[in-house]
């Protein structure tokens, strides 16, 4: 086959360092747009980006020319610089070291997109920690909570 084709849908989640509430309500929209731009720049198809004061969710089609790990590193590095420049009060802004990444089927795509878009409503009833552990369990990811948080 002379052409490489793929459709790999990914849901990535990561939080601020120590899950600190560093993303102001009036910033989350701009940050989401910035993150979507970084994804598009890497050749990814953006489905939905959203989050709250201490974490973000990215739902996208992974470009066939990048690895997930290098993409997340690029996203976190560039958005850290963006947050520090754009918001002087966040001069020490940092993301957590790790991330969660989950495959999404075409069948689940619309409900996953709604879930990402409705983060503010979702977190009226659940903390980020509770949400993240639930995602890990739902996707059958083994974890050791002693090493999960930073």
Instruction: Average the pLDDT over 39-46 and give the result.
Output: 98
CB neighbours of 60 closer than 8 A, spacing ≥ 6? Answer: 9, 10, 12, 39, 44, 45, 46, 47, 49
Q: pTM for this structure?
A: 0.93
| Signed CA dihedral, 127, 13, 10, 110: sign only | positive
Range of the domain at 120: 9-147
Q: Would you say residue 112 lies in a domain?
A: yes
Q: What is the CATH number of the domain that holds 49?
A: 3.30.70.1290
Give the strand order in the sheet containing 55-61: 45-52, 55-61, 9-15, 100-104
pLDDT tops 70 at residue 88: no
**pLDDT recorded at residue 4:** 87
pLDDT tops 90 at residue 146: no
Q: Would you say residue 3 lies in a domain?
A: no
The number of folded domains in the chain is: 1
pLDDT band per the 50, 70, 90 thresholds, residue 150:
confident
pLDDT band per the 50, 70, 90 thresholds, residue 89:
low
Question: What is the average pLDDT score of the chain?
Answer: 93
């Amino acid at each position: 086959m002379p052409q490489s084709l793929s459709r790999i849908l990914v849901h990535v989640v990561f939080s601020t360092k120590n899950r600190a509430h560093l993303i102001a309500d009036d910033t989350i929209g701009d940050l989401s747009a910035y993150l979507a731009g970084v994804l598009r720049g890497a050749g990814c198809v953006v489905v939905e980006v959203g989050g709250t004061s201490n974490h973000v969710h990215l739902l996208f089609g992974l470009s066939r020319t990048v690895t997930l790990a290098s993409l997340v590193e690029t996203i976190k590095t560039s958005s850290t610089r963006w947050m520090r420049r754009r918001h002087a009060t966040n001069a020490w802004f940092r993301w957590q070291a790790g991330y969660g990444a989950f495959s999404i089927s075409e069948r689940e795509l619309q409900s996953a997109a709604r879930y990402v878009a409705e983060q503010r409503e979702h977190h009226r009833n659940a903390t980020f920690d509770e949400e993240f552990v639930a995602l890990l369990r739902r996707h059958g990811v083994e974890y050791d909570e002693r090493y999960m948080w930073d």
